Structure 1
Amino acid sequence: MDELPKPYVISNVGMSLDGKLATVENDSRISGENDLKRVHQIRKDVDGIMVGIGTILKDDPRLTVHKIDAKMEDNPIRIVVDSNLRIPLNARVLNKDAKTIIATTLKDTPDKIAKINKLKEMGNVDVVRTGTEKVNLKELMEILYKKGIKKILLEGGGTLNWGMFKENLVDEVSVYVAPKIFGGMGAPTYVDGEGFKTVDECVKLELKKYYPLDDGIVLEFKVKNTR
């Protein structure tokens, strides 16, 4: 049986040479101005930007286009995967600069129901529900596609990246590698989660393009999806 259609997913990350997204003190100054413009151009070209709740709680990003010439209508839909609905009601990703979709589970509590109602009252926020203990990412992709979201920029963090790779939902990987070594067992990495047990199980990539940018290098891969 043919798989249901899903959005084309680009996973983008900026990391140190040893695969860290920030130092142990959460200093994430990795890329330069030209790479930031590259990332915001991708944001402008997609229909949605997707992150996990950990990114929202740690960085409180706006997830809009603001490093290049852009209008408010160029902002893609912001998608937050939040199984336990921990998003603060004053999070910047809920502002009126763009529409926001919060993806959470079907599991209910009185507090969760009340929070869902408050989110919906904001007007520009939609709540999507799938899965029981955790958001079902495959079902979420199908729902987003039906909503007209055909291309997504996946911006992490490590737990969501793992889930998306594990479910074969990523189509392309774009990586900026900075000539820096951060170290630190507790420093955040590109992909976390439980990890694959063998090389045979892992996600395979095909290098399509590479070029220098700022003081680092950009690597662009196609995900082979051969697992």
Structure 2
Amino acid sequence: MIDRPYVIINSAMTIDGKIATKKGDSKISSKDDLVRVHKLRASVDAIMVGINTILIDDPSLKVKYCEGKNPIRIVVDSKARTPIDSRIISDKSAPTVIAVTKKAPIDRINKLKEAGAKVIVCGEGEKVDLTILLKSLKDMGIKSILVEGGGNINWSVISQGFFDELQVTIGPFIVGGKDSITLVEGNGFEKMEEGIKVKLHKVEQHGDEVVLIYKPLR
């Protein structure tokens, strides 16, 4: 067990388990649910997303629907592909940390640093080593992280057991499609018994939405 921050994964999905359509439309949450999510943002030290979220949605990752501080923004971006003109870089309301690997082009790393981002090198492989990243973030004084990424970052965090809560809003939509993005992507497990076991901790209903809060079985 590594010494790491407390990690909450939050996502909204359709009844059939999709977090976005094949075109990347992920507008599932109601206004009430967005308020809940932004209260979560305001309660943590940092918010983490994957590079695909930045490239597709260009979010600012700020607190908008309630009062509170803006969390530190963390992007898991192995190849340093975060655009210099993205809102997460141009908006200076909170620090931005970009996690890359040693294979990331040095010119891209330097441009991100020049733009004001902090760059952390986490591993030598194709993907960011989450063990190194989470320990580095803990060493920076970050005690809690909200993961709001897509299916790939969810897989990386969940499959390695690096989470303490999973909060999922089920919205009243069915979109179908084998190319739509699911809550957890990645390679997946081959057998059900290999899957990550969780325990239902709490259920909340808001209109036609249901929020399920799970905690992992240790």
Same fold at TM > 0.5: yes
Unmatched tracts of structure 2, length 5 or more = none
- Corresponding residue for 2:43? 45
1:214–1:36 CA distance, 2 compared to 1 (3 A): farther
TM-score for both structures, normalised by structure 2: 0.95
- Corresponding residue for 2:78? 83
- Corresponding residue for 2:158? 165
Q: Which amino acid letter does the alignment assign opposite residue 180 of structure 2?
A: A
Q: Which one of 213, 219, 223 corresponds to residue 206 of structure 2?
A: 213
Per-residue deviation, 1:169: 0.3
- Corresponding residue for 1:128? 120
Q: Secondary structure at the match of 1:184?
A: coil
Q: Which amino acid letter does the alignment assign opposite residue 62 of structure 2?
A: T
State the Cα deviation string for residues 136-192 of structure 1 (Å, max 9, x = none). 011111010000111000012111111111111011100100122110111111100
- Corresponding residue for 1:66? 64
Q: 2:207, 2:40 → 1: CA distance?
A: 17
Q: Which amino acid letter does the alignment assign opposite residue 90 of structure 1?
A: D
Q: 1:196, 1:131 → 2: CA distance?
A: 24
Q: 1:197, 1:179 → 2: CA distance?
A: 30
Per-residue deviation, 1:9: 0.5
Equivalent pair of 2:204/2:212 in contact (CA under 8 Å): yes
Aligned residues: 216
Unmatched tracts of structure 1, length 5 or more = none
Per-residue deviation, 1:130: 1.2
Q: Secondary structure at the match of 1:191?
A: coil
Q: 1:189, 1:19 → 2: CA distance?
A: 6
Q: Secondary structure at the match of 1:21?
A: strand
Per-residue deviation, 1:97: 1.5
Q: Which amino acid letter does the alignment assign opposite residue 101 of structure 1?
A: V
Per-residue deviation, 1:11: 0.5
- Corresponding residue for 2:187? 194
- Corresponding residue for 1:151? 144
Q: 2:26, 2:114 → 1: CA distance?
A: 34
Per-residue deviation, 1:121: 1.9
Equivalent pair of 1:14/1:175 in contact (CA under 8 Å): yes
TM-score for both structures, normalised by structure 1: 0.92
Per-residue deviation, 1:24: 2.9
Q: Which amino acid letter does the alignment assign opposite residue 73 of structure 2?
A: R
